[in-house]
Structure 1
Amino acid sequence: MLDSVLGGLAVVLAWPAIGYLFLGVLLGLYLGAVPGLSGLVGMAILIPLTFTMEPGAALAFVLGTFAVTTTSDTIASVLLGIPGTAASQATILDGYPMAVKGQASRAFGAAFTVSAMGGLLGALVLGLSIPLVKPLILSFTQAEFFMLSLLGLTMVGALSGKSLLLGLAAALFGLGLSYVGYAENGALPRYWFGATYLLEGLPLIPVVLGLFAIPELISLAARGSSVSEVPREQASGGIVTGILDAFRNWWLVLRSTAIGAYVGMLPGLGGSIVDWAAYGHAVQSAKNKEEFGKGDVRGVIAPETANNAMKGGAIIPTIAFGIPGSASMAVLMGAFMMHGLTPGPEMLTTRLDVTFSIVWMLAIANVAGALILMLLARRIASLTFIRGNLLVPAIVTFVFMGAWLASSDIGDWVVLLVFGLLGYLMKRGGVPRPPMVLGLVIGPIMENALFITNSVYDGLEWLARPICLIIAALIVLSVLLAARRRRPAPIEDGKADSDAQETHPTMSLIATGFLLMASVLALVPTFSWPSDVGQIPMLTFIPLTGLALLALWQRSRAIGQMRTEGYTRVSIRSEWKDVGLLYLWWLGLLMATLAVGQLIALPVFVALYLLSRGGYPWWTALLYAGGVWAFLYLVFDRMVAVFWYPSLLFQ
């Protein structure tokens, strides 16, 4: 065993493998930092470049990219409130509020430190677990996968926002969104409204960017000020404070590592729920929970540790059994096989040195990535103090091009704008958005798992399986604990909660009413569908209707009580005027893209926005627009080779 460990280290340290490892780390940091790009995109681009490389150098290049995307994805989560990748969604809940308080440097210090620790410990778990994991993985059938998905969804719904009812309702609504398009196990399209674009389902990236990025863009543009509401001189908590926070919470780091590594082993689930599982555990195990969702550093430490430790766990079923647990793992397995490495028992016996070289690559890449970002953290955090009108054009470019990567269809931008409006309504109405995203991600997994489970077992006898019973008990316990620590959701105008920084009573009623109306309309057709297509939508929308009704009643009572106590109504007319003006800008961008394509439309949008809304001189607007064009051309055209929209004027 020791010979294999040292042999694996020798493979990594040999030139040119170590050079390619660091080059992969740099590329991975960039891919994780840009919303919409990811380790999957990076590996898909890089693998063809490894054809002529030695196996060790090729693996180092690909694994260096793969390992650190969940380290740099923290940047967008903290600075913009946008998940850089799917595994950084939970980081938003406390990371972005820390940036608003002027504590972005502290958040980065903690996040990058625990990312390195989680990556190292995850690699250690990978090395130690290789002989032990087979019985654990094989003990999970589709019944356990369904229950584990339900646990993740329940925990996120129960812990998000201040209303338990709305949190669970948002989770179920997200599940409902996952049913758009063809069913997992049937030939009948659902909720596609005659649009062929929706037959394959709602694309995840435009939905996530719409729900999280567009509302923050609206707020940033309306204020015109910086992301941080605290002046630079009054900002508290630097990088060193964040590093010390990480070490002070060492026990939480260890527990989150265990969650990340072992949840990561479960094919199909790891990246979807690992950050939420760690965040939920951090909240439920904390003695003082009041600051979670308002900028508690523990809310950054737990998910960032887990999503980096998850990488080590996720590789185990891939190399040990040839079972890729995600699209990224499937691409990685393809890279292994392309260079003559066949996943399976061989990787645990005759090629054990190669397996340990993977462990070393993950460990070194995580430490290197964290150190690089730590050196840049202060400059990155300074972006939170730049005027909003100067940031908005750059963020719009990132967000719209990130959405375009979903399917390179103009429908991606339509979905982005529609869900942006919904996200703003949910934010102002106090309806948590993270559970909705998790429901959308995990819905197909749950539906497929339930279909297979029902095919194998008679009735509900699968619920009697020991692991299913344990998970069911955890589901009930998480809901009871969440209900116990919750007060009825306050909706006073101007008060903050974890997802809606300025919950407005009228918006709250509209958002809750929307959930109720959408649920009822979606429930009606399920009664006429075949059982294999309509069963799980029916099981989703019936409880959603009940939860939305209860939430609407609860909020109506709260507003009535506020009025009797002398509540002064705050007008939202001027606010929606700002939203409408911004949407006119974005609709203009969409129409310009139809006419001349993104390479012209986006730089022109940037220049006009800076001139009219920012009040900047023409030369600043011209330089900024030129930089945007160069970025689009070099990154999206030459590197990513994106399919641009075929404009009407320049075909």
Structure 2
Amino acid sequence: MFDSFMTGLSLVLSFPGFLYLLAGIAVGLWLGIVPGLGGVTGMVVLLPLTFGMDPASGLAMLLGMFAVVSTSDTITSVMLGIPGTIASQATVIDGNAMAKRGLAQTAFGAAFASSAFGGVLGGFAMAASLPFALWIILAFGSPEFFLLSLLGLLMVGAVSGNAISKGLGAAVLGLMLSQIGYPVASSMPRYFFGERSLLDGLPLVPVILGLFGLPEMMDLAARRSAIAHISDERADDDGILNGVRAAIRNRWLVIRCSLLGVYIGMLPAIGSSVVDWLAYGHATQSCKTDPQFGKGDVRGVIAPEAANNAVLGGSLIPTLAFGIPGSGAMAVLLGAMTIHGFSPGRNMLSDNLDITFSMVWTIIIANIIGAAVLMIWGRQVARAAFVDGNFIVPAVIMFIFMGSWVWEPGMFTWITLLGVGLLGYVLKAAGWPRPPFILGFVLGPVLEDALSITWQSYTPMEVIARPTVIGLVAVVAVVFFFALRSTRRSLAAHSIEDTTETRASLILSNTLAVCLIVVFAAAIWMARDWKLLAKISPIGIAMAGLVIMGFVLLQDRTRLRLIAAARRAGDTEAGGTTAAFVAAHRRQIVTFLAVALMAGVTPFIGTYAAILGFAAVYTAVWGRFRWWVVALYTAGLGAVLYFLYDRVLHAPFEIPFFM
């Protein structure tokens, strides 16, 4: 085996294979930065280029590209508060908070160092796990997947701060929206209201980009300032090496989260969707020294970044050993292997073991090179935190809308993006945390699929007799205990002075809770006559939502009474005024309406004219730039639209109605 291990290394380092690996790394670093593209898009684009290559070189280019996407996506998560890919959702919470404090370089250093270690450990753990990987994979069935999804949902408290009831409410809303369309165990579509586009459910990428991207760009446009809330001079303690030292100080957290990523990655269809949340929750519950999670704690960056880079090593095992791709990218890789004459199974662990180990070395080398390149350029990238936000908003809006369009072309995608974006903004204004929403939305289908299969395939005694179920139940109980303890501590320390809540935001929160009560009640009423497996999940979610909304209303009413008592005591400014709240959010609403107008006129004037027209008007009117700056800026965005989305990705643009 050692000979095959070293032969795999020589295959990766030989000419021209190493050059193809470097090319893949370069493409992957770039794809991770652009919101909405990610590794699957890169796999699809690069796959045809590998047809004439040596098999080891072709696989090295594909894996080298994919291995570093979850490293460079940190840039978007930290700088803009927008997950570059699904694997970097949890990084947004503390990474973006650090950037707003002027600590973007520290966040980058910690993230890139943790990512490199996670990727390297993931590769070595994959190699070491091959002998017993079969047992791990076969030991996990639908009952175990259900418990793992439940474990992921227990992380809601970790990403809700002090707003636990609102975090639970956001998670239940995400779960509810995940029920739209066909369920796995029934032919009866749910909540599609006659709209055929909803039969497959809401598309994931527009939901993520809308929930995080649009509200952050609305805020940045309203502030008319840089991303960082402080001046460059006050960020003297920021630095890439400071982040690396932070990762070294928290090395045991890095190791634990990396191993978590490897072994969760082995489980098909669940790895990247839940592992960063599990790692973030583990960090919040295990770190006892001055926790500042949600406010810019570097450990909130270290944990998910170590885990999501280690996932690839684990996800390769079921793909190579059983031909079971755990994600879309692994499905494309499986197709590439077939094209090059390899079949998954015992051959990959015997006759073609050198090719398998070349993939291990590809992951290790790509993570090291990718992290090193990003550390070298991290200081320059971090300077974007102090660039005029009026330069950033139009470009990011273009990437958000086109990233969604590439994922699923059609105006329905943009309608979803705008709808979820408005919802995300309302949640933020009302003091509801947004990460639990996306956690519920991502885990909803996994949870329901596992529950449906378990219901049909196992008796209760068969479920509770499984050793892995017993072990996972114990883990869930321990995690629940620590989550409950940390929640009680945060609530005990909570007072009205600890939050930015105002009387108007609490009223908005009350209104949102009442609206959701109506939504959940309607969901139960619509599902009453459905088949059992079609209705059990949405009815259960809706009933939980009704209970949670009651707690939200009770909590908000208590805080409103505290504000009223403070006003009666003579503090006339307690809780602010409705007029001040509206004034503070007027520019955000104007920005949203402008973006909605851009999307609305696209079917009539075409994609190019709509997006470039928005950029030109925004920079000229809102940014007040000189005409030649507006012209150069708009021309640059036009070049990106043409070369990237039109010529490379072949996105089907909307054509003006008069053509």
TM-score by length of 2: 0.95
- Note the 1:107-146 alignment, pairs <5 A: 107-146=107-146
1:591 aligns with 2:595: no
Cα deviations across residues 457-511 of structure 1 (Å, max 9, x unaligned)? 2357524533223323333433332232234495858936xxx999932233233
| Residue identity in the other structure for 2:421 | G
Q: Distance in 2 between matches of 1:223 and 1:464?
A: 58
Counterpart of 2:88, as a letter, is S
Q: Following the alignment from structure 1 to structure 2, what is the Cα–Cα distance between the partners of residues 371 and 397?
A: 29
Aligned residue identity for 1:495: T
1:389 is aligned to: 390
Alignment of 1:485-634 (within 5 A): 485-486=486-487, 487-488=490-491, 492=496, 495=499, 504-566=505-567, 567-571=574-578, 572-634=581-643
Is the contact between residue 35 and residue 85 of structure 1 (CA under 8 Å) also seen in structure 2? yes
Contact kept, 8 Å, 1:93 with 1:299, in 2: the verdict is: yes
Equivalent residue number for residue 650 of structure 2: 641
For 2:24, the equivalent position in structure 1 comes to 24
1:327 Cα shift?
1.3
Aligned AA (2:554): W
Q: Which residue of 1 aligns with 2:570?
A: none
What secondary structure does 1:473 align onto? Answer: helix
Change (3 A) 1:333 1:43: same
**1:330 & 1:250 partners in 2: Cα distance?**
33
Structure 1's consecutive aligned runs of 4 or more residues displaced over 4 angstroms after TM superposition are 489-494, 500-503
Residues 436-475 of structure 1: CA deviation (Å, up to 9, x unaligned)? 1122222222222211111112357524533223323333
Q: What is aligned with 1:83?
A: 83
The superposition leaves residues 193-220 of structure 1 with CA deviations (integer Å, 9 ceiling, x where unpaired) of 2222111110111111111011111110
Partners in 1 of 2:516 and 2:465 — Cα distance? Answer: 34
Answer yes or no: is 1:164 the counterpart of 2:164: yes
Contact 1:98 1:107 in 2 (8 A): yes
C-alpha displacement at 1:605, in angstroms? 0.9
Name the CA shift for 1:491/1:83 in 2 (closer, same or farther; >3 Å).
farther
The separation in 2 between residues aligned to 1:7 and 1:170, in whole angstroms, is 51
Residue 43 of structure 2 is aligned to residue 43 of structure 1? yes
1:94 touches 1:296 (CA, 8 Å); kept in 2?
Answer: yes
Aligned to 1:332: 333
Give the Cα–Cα distance (whole angstroms) in 1 for the partners of residues 33 and 576 of structure 2. 41
Q: Deviation at 1:560?
A: 1.1
Query: In 2, distance between residues paired with 1:34 and 1:463?
Result: 45
310-319 vs 473-482, which moves further: 473-482
Query: What amino acid sits opposite 1:560 in the alignment?
Result: R
Shift of residue 192 of structure 1?
A: 1.2
d(CA) in 2 for partners of 1:107 and 1:515? 36
User: Helix, strand or coil: the match of 1:189?
Assistant: coil
- Rounded to whole Å, the distance in 1 between the matches of 2:515 and 2:372 is 46
In 2, Cα distance between the equivalents of 1:157 and 1:523?
Answer: 26
Q: Distance in 1 between matches of 2:222 and 2:140?
A: 50
Matches within 5 A, 1:182-331: 182-235=182-235, 236-288=237-289, 290-331=291-332
Q: Does the 8 Å CA contact 1:430/1:503 hold for their aligned counterparts?
A: no
Gaps of 5+ in 1: none
After superposition, the C-alpha distances for 1:353-390 in whole angstroms (9 at most, x for unaligned) are 11111111111111111111111111111111011122
- Structure 1 residue 64 and structure 2 residue 58: aligned? no
Is the CA contact 1:494–1:502 (under 8 Å) kept in the aligned structure 2? no
What is the SS of the residue equivalent to 2:407?
A: coil
Q: Distance in 1 between matches of 2:465 and 2:527?
A: 28
Answer whether contact 2:35 2:83 (CA < 8 A) is retained: yes
Report the 3-state secondary structure (helix = DSSP H, G, I; strand = E; otherwise coil) of the residue aligned with 1:528. coil
Deviation at 1:576, TM superposition (A): 4.0
In structure 2, what is the equivalent of residue 452 of structure 1?
A: 453
Supply the distance in 2 between the matched residues of 1:503 and 1:453 (Cα, whole angstroms). 46
Distance 1:491 1:187, change over 3 A: farther
Inter-CA distance 552–465: structure 2 relative to 1 (3 Å threshold): farther
- Distance in 2 of aligned mates of 1:478 and 1:504: 32
Amino acid at match of 1:261: V
CA distance in 1, matches of 2:577, 2:99: 27
Contact 2:268 2:315 in 1 (8 A): yes
Retained in 2: the 8 A contact 1:103–1:238?
yes
**1:338 to partner: Cα distance:** 0.8
The separation in 2 between residues aligned to 1:84 and 1:23, in whole angstroms, is 20
Which whole-Å CA distance do the structure 2 matches of 1:472 and 1:169 have between them?
A: 24
| Equivalent position amino acid for 1:407 in 2 | E
Pair 1:297–1:234, CA change in 2 (3 A)? same
Instruction: Please tell me whether the aligned partners of residues 503 and 577 of structure 2 are also in contact (alpha carbons under 8 angstroms).
Output: no
Q: Tell me which moved more, 296-305 or 387-396.
A: 387-396
Asked if structure 2 preserves the Cα contact closer than 8 Å seen for 1:79 and 1:104, the reply is yes
- Distance of 1:316 and 1:501 partners within structure 2: 51
CA distance in structure 1 between the aligned counterparts of 2:477 and 2:563, rounded to whole angstroms: 33
In the alignment, the residues of structure 1 paired with residue 482 and residue 129 of structure 2 have an alpha-carbon distance, to the nearest angstrom, of 32
2:148 match: 148
Assess, with a 3 A threshold, how the Cα gap between structure 1 residues 384 and 180 changes in structure 2: closer, same or farther.
same
CA drift of 1:138 comes to: 0.6
Residues 267-324 of structure 1 deviation map (CA, whole Å, 9 limit, x = unaligned): 1110011111111111111113530110000000000000001111110111112111
Deviation per CA, 1:12-66: give whole Å up to 9, x if none: 1111110000000000111111110010111011111111111111111111111
- Greater alpha carbon shift after TM alignment, 482-491 vs 593-602: 482-491
Name the structure 1 match of 2:180.
180
Partner amino acid, structure 2, of 1:189: P
TM-score (structure 1 length as normaliser): 0.96
Tell me the secondary structure at the aligned position of residue 29 of structure 1: helix
Alpha carbons 2:221, 2:588 under 8 Å: kept: no
Q: Distance in 2 between matches of 1:23 and 1:444?
A: 36
Out of 97-106 and 398-407, give the one that drifted further: 398-407
Who is 1:430 aligned against?
431
Counterpart CA distance in 2 for 1:299 and 1:321 is 34
Instruction: Give, in angstroms, the shift of residue 103 of structure 1.
Output: 0.2
Give how far 1:626 is off: 0.3
Cα pair distance change 1:47/1:501, threshold 3 Å: farther
SS in 2 for 1:504: helix
8 Å CA contact 1:245–1:297 kept in 2: the answer is yes
d(CA) in 2 for partners of 1:616, 1:149: 49
Matches of 1:11 and 1:71, distance apart in 2:
24
8 Å CA contact 1:494, 1:503 repeated in 2? no
Change (3 A) 1:132 1:418: same
| Two-structure CA RMSD over aligned residues (Å) | 1.9
In the alignment, which residue of structure 1 is the partner of 2:571? none
Q: Which moved more, 1:13-22 or 1:473-482?
A: 473-482
Is 1:77–1:89's contact at 8 Å kept on the other side of the alignment? yes
On the 8 A contact 2:284/2:291 being kept in 1, the answer is: no
Tell whether the 8 Å contact from 1:246 to 1:253 is kept in structure 2 after alignment.
yes
Indicate conservation of the 8 Å contact 1:493/1:505, yes or no: no
* SS of equivalent to 1:287: coil
